[in-house]
Amino acid sequence: MKLLIKNGRVIDPANNIDKVLDILVEDNKISKVEENISENADKTIDAKGCWVTPGLIDLHVHLRDPGYEHKETIATGTRAGAMGGFTTICAMPNTNPVTDNEILVEYVKMKAERDGVINVLPIGAITKGQHGEELADIGKMAQVGACAISEDGKSVPGPSLMKNALRYAKMFDLPVFDHCEEISLAKGSMNAGDRASLLGLKGISNDSEELIVARDMILAGSVKAQIHLCHISTTESIIQIKQAKERGVNVTSEATPHHFTLCDEDITEYDANFKMNPPLRSRKDVEAVRQALKDGTIEVIATDHAPHHIDDKNCEFEKAANGIIGLETALPLGIKILVEGGYLTPSELIAKMTCNPAKILHSDKGTLSVGAVADITITDPECENVFDVNKMKSKAKNTPFDGYKAKGKVLYTIVGGEIVVDNGELVK
């Protein structure tokens, strides 16, 4: 199929492009990016007033398949991703059974090819069963297509084991996606602060994150391995990352939309949709995260899309599961908070959701270069967007953003030259 996208503001940070251009897609690849393309096409999209960007890439998604399909499936999760403008997502391994071997990696790939509508890259576990005792077979998982390894949901408890994991990951050119949490310091259910005291909830201190941030960057530096820190949330973590970069550590990091949008003061009642890990931090920490995104210390925006069944959240705050869904709210929150708030330009925002994550994955995605696979997102940045959880495509509905007013709406998501979202409607 030949597809022509006309009159859009093409934002392609990988190629330093931000101007009104046309894009021609032939078969599944981009064949032209020019002004005033006049060729006939099977379908023409008038993108006037819209951003035309590389398809968004999310490094941090929980699809819950296999084992927790009552929370989310690859079919529902990828459709939620498409509605949010994502064309590639990385699936975390804390499934049941844990994705800790080549068979489970192949399973996720096969299921995604059969049931999914966007690209799914499996992440392998660091340890067998995520028990933190014995390394998983990292090499075999890499050979069949794992894009990274992670113990997400927990940290590797032993420094020696973590150091060995970093060594093995380096051998197979895999990044290590690191959940930084010293569990002995993280026994509460929200951020330690005045609001936790007011609500009578046990707090989680910032040092629970910062201790493992420091430890694992030291280990990565010592073996010269690539480490990517997940969902960074505290001021001191950011200071440590800056210092590690200055020492030459190969470290990158991500922030989630909920951690740059909400703080612990937004928790006014026992609504478990505000419960997540790491917890919503102080207003000061939120500002530090925004500034780190602005100055480039944090290179990536990732959702940590964490779907749960209603029963997992409809209980006492302390007993509720951690996490929220995020694929369908990420880009509008980025536009409202970061672009309209003056922290990022549109190009800088898109870089943190396209070419920057692609670089971490050693991927050729995240660009609108001629010859690239046609993964494209078209967004109306001016569209008022009031989130309605009942209209979201995720199987789960656990979000604190129901009814929240944001800015920007994804109109088209194009994956390998095929339209998955057409004028705001899911068509696959």
Reduced DSSP (H G I as helix, E B as strand, rest coil) percent helix, strand, coil of the chain, to 5: 35, 25, 40
pLDDT at 349 over 90: yes
Q: Is 304 a catalytic residue?
A: yes
User: Measured between alpha carbons, how far is residue 55 from residues 5, 58, 342, 357, 384 in Å?
Assistant: 14, 10, 23, 11, 21
pLDDT at 1 over 90: no
Q: What is the pLDDT of residue 403?
A: 98
Percent of the chain with pLDDT over 90: 100
Q: What is the pLDDT of residue 270?
A: 97
Residue 135 per-residue DSSP state: B
Contact 69, 115 (CB under 8 A): no
pLDDT band at 417 (very low <50, low <70, confident <90, very high): very high
Six-digit token pair at 297? 């210390």
pLDDT at 237 over 90: yes
Closest CA to 273 of 401, 186, 376: 401
pLDDT band at 211 (very low <50, low <70, confident <90, very high): very high
- What is the 3-state secondary structure of 52-118? EEECEEEEEECCCCCCCCCCCCHHHHHHHHHHCCEEEEEECCCCCCCCCCHHHHHHHHHHHHHHCCC
Q: What is the pLDDT of residue 341?
A: 98
Q: Tell me what the mean pLDDT of segment 333-362 comes to.
A: 98
Measured in degrees and rounded to the nearest 5, phi and psi for residue 122 equal -75, 145
Contact 5, 47 (CB under 8 A): yes
**3 state DSSP class of 344:** coil
pLDDT of 46-66, one tens digit each? 999 999 999 999 999 999 999
pLDDT of 261-271, one tens digit each? 999 999 999 99
Please provide the average confidence, as pLDDT, over all residues in the chain. 98
Please give the span between the terminal C-alpha atoms of the chain, in angstroms, as a whole number.
16
Domain-wise residue ranges, the chain: 2-51+373-426, 55-360
Kindly report the CATH number that applies to the domain delimited by 2-51+373-426. 2.30.40.10
Which residues are CB-contacts of 358 (< 8 A; sequence separation ≥ 6)? Answer: 14, 57, 364, 365, 366, 367
pLDDT at 394 over 90: yes
Q: What is the pLDDT of residue 48?
A: 98
Catalytic residue among 22, 216, 304, 380: 304
pLDDT of 260-299, one tens digit each? 999 999 999 999 999 999 999 999 999 999 999 999 999 9
Q: What is the pLDDT of residue 358?
A: 98
The CA R_g of the chain, rounded to the nearest whole Å, is 20
Which residues are CB-contacts of 417 (< 8 A; sequence separation ≥ 6)? Answer: 1, 3, 25, 26, 27, 28, 29, 373, 374
Q: Tell me what the mean pLDDT of segment 113-137 comes to.
A: 98
pLDDT of 306-320, one tens digit each? 999 999 999 999 999
Q: Which CATH architecture has domain 55-360?
A: Alpha-Beta Barrel (3.20)
